[in-house]
Amino acid sequence: MNPSDREFELDQQLRNVPVPRDLVARLKSIPDSTEIEAAIDAELNAVAVPQDFTHKLHQIAATSEPVSLSEPQPTDASRHRPARWVSTIWSVAAVLLVAIGVSWFVYTLSNNNLAKQDLDSPFPTNTHTAITPDSEPQLAWLDSFGPESNEQRLLDAPLPSSDELALLGSQLELPDAPDNSPASNLRIRSLSDQLPSDPLASTFLMRFQPLGANPLISAETGRPQMILATTSPVSYVPSAKEYDRDFLMRESVQPFASPQEASLRSVRLPISAAEESYENVVFTEKPWSAELLADARMEQWLAATGKFYVPAQPGQVELRTAAGPAVFARDRTQLLQIGVVAGSADPVDRPPAHITVAVTPPSDAANAMRTWLPVKIALREMIEHLQPHDTITLVVMSEFPHVMLEDAAVADSELWFTALDRIDAGTQSNLAEGIRLAAATAISKPGFGDIRRPLIVLSDRFAALDEATNRQLRPLVEDATSQHVDFSWVQLEDRQFASISPAPSSLEGLGTWTVTNSLKDLCHLLDHEIHNAPTLVGTNPRINIKWNEKSVSQYRLIGYQPVGGDFMPTSQTQELHAFDSGTVLFEVILPEEGPNEVAQIELEWRDADGKARKSTQKVSRLQLASSWPASPLSLQAAQLTAECLSLQQNSYFSRRRGNTVDELEKWASAINPALMRHASYPRLELLLPPSQP
């Protein structure tokens, strides 16, 4: 635990200590030191002194005569007496010193003898309790109390100190061989005989405090749930003295800051496109659990739902800005959105690609939430990234495999969405026959010249292929590979288990094998199959916002909480792949009058070759949307995402403003219809309350 965390925990404990209501009044009624000294001076000055007091003192001093005593003259006897007393004192001191030395030597020798006893000597008998063959020997301190009072005495007895335990261990040592004689066969009752039957009982844990035990933890454990840590956390805390760092550490949200302070007129932030905490909360068998929500990061949720920007140019990283009313904040508060969007990594004039995708239907609802839903969203967004000359075919590997939709182009997105919606959970699957049908479908596509025919098989049931099926399946896969079908096998399982999920023998060495169920990984993999090229566009994007103090009264950054007490941004490389995006939100309070320019934003990043790039964009009052319906799609999605996470985490500003789920549902029902028709709308739909019929 970091010092800052300990201080925060201590502060919370001190705040919870009950304080009498009249304590402040009583403390204020106590006068300070200056008031007490002034009162004493006033009392001394008020003492009345007789007028002739000084004259009487002078008269006494003048009439009194000093008294002197004659010095005694030493005699002969007194001259020799000190010498006799001195010799007597020294003799007594010498005798005492010798006695002390002998006593210390004997005491040290006796201790050494106790610490080095003979191992063959019998165990010391109990000299205080008579032992008979018919009675069970007991410890004296346990024998004098009943069964009920024994436990109470055990709880009330003080623990021995470390020195006493060490002395006891050095004085009592068991012999190597047991002695069966009646005098030495003393049975010591085990201390556990008097302890509660439940080792997790609060009385036992609070008394003995075994390592790792907590009396507040239930003895019954639930089903284990993997909580993955974020791989690319970012944090932001300015070093200016005017910034309220205590508020940030206490409430875990960024406070409002004023650009009127020169040190707070500029904000420099790293941009992250990570989505781990969003996926950990949504795509799990137990979504929205408190443990996962505690680690959720706002910037990662905004990156996951930040797919509604205007696309960037291929191979470029560009700025996108939007502004409008902050509907979940108080009046006069505006919301400024800054987006960093990566363009496509598609090479220029690449040959067409006829892609075949084969999927197994989910076995149940839990499996659909964990594996099929990320695949469905990735496939919805995939068709939007095709070129006009590309086609895609969907094969469903159910109990009776079939082709759901064939040769869909980018203009057929509505048909593609409908086909994906028709794949229901609870359907039986036939993986081997589905692979045969998908391979035959891919071979039937035109493949002359440079035309590519990739086949992507996504399933969580590769481990079910037995040895006989693998022997029959391998020649078929080898034949399709010889006819220029490029296989990609995706085991829909957490990538943490990639080391224990090898490819089946029928597929080994034939195509690429990937283990993942991450939405972000699936999107990158499908884009790579489309482009047939690396998807990395840029690295380490950073923005620098310079506020116009004449146009902005206050601003507040949403998200970017410190991670583990670390106030410095992470040094890990942030990557932007094709169609990735990162979002930064600011709540801004503008005065009624002021210049049009609100802020100037500067973006710095490096391209795939490591070359530094830079771009600048200004934010004006003219960009502010007048109402919620007039707000851009990206701004509406960002507001709903931020408020959803704030309500789930019960953040400070959500509590102070009295925001509720009903209010979130109200604004979600009034979103732009174009947002619901977007390919990435399911990312946002998972966060919104279910609509009432």
Average pLDDT in the chain: 79
CB-based contacts of 175, cutoff 8 Å, min separation 6: 119, 120, 121, 122, 123
Residue 240 confidence (pLDDT): 79
Task: At 13, list the tokens.
Answer: 């404990």
Residue 111 confidence (pLDDT): 53
Q: How far apart are CA 158 and CA 168, in angstroms?
A: 16
CB atoms within 10 A of CB 583: 31
Residue 286 banded pLDDT, cuts 50, 70, 90: confident
pLDDT in tens, 342-388: 999 988 888 899 999 999 998 887 788 888 999 999 999 999 999 99
Residue 224 banded pLDDT, cuts 50, 70, 90: low
Residue 123 confidence (pLDDT): 40
Grouping H, G, I as helix, E, B as strand and the rest as coil, residue 120 is coil
Q: How far separated are the first and last CA of the chain, in Å rounded?
A: 49
Grouping H, G, I as helix, E, B as strand and the rest as coil, residue 270 is strand
For the cut 50, the answer to whether the pLDDT of residue 212 exceeds it is no
Residue 623 banded pLDDT, cuts 50, 70, 90: very high
Residue 196 confidence (pLDDT): 52
Q: How far apart are CA 55 and CA 111, in angstroms?
A: 77
Which domains, and CATH codes, for the chain? 140-208 (no CATH), 248-345+536-685 (2.60.40.1230), 354-531 (3.40.50.410)
> Tokens 């790792």 sit at which residue?
212
Q: How far apart are CA 358 and CA 435, in angstroms?
A: 8
The better pLDDT of the pair 611, 184 is held by 611
The better pLDDT of the pair 226, 319 is held by 319
Mean pLDDT score, 17-29: 72
pTM of the full structure: 0.67
* 126-135 contact pairs (CB < 8 A, 24+): 126/186, 131/182, 131/183, 131/186, 133/182
Asked if 534 contacts 524 with a C-beta cutoff of 8 angstroms, the reply is no
For the cut 60, the answer to whether the pLDDT of residue 687 exceeds it is yes
Residue 526 banded pLDDT, cuts 50, 70, 90: very high
Residue 568 confidence (pLDDT): 42
pLDDT in tens, 174-193: 444 444 444 444 444 444 44
Residue 288 banded pLDDT, cuts 50, 70, 90: confident
Supply angle C-alpha 419, 421, 425, rounded to 5: 120
Mean pLDDT score, 650-667: 93
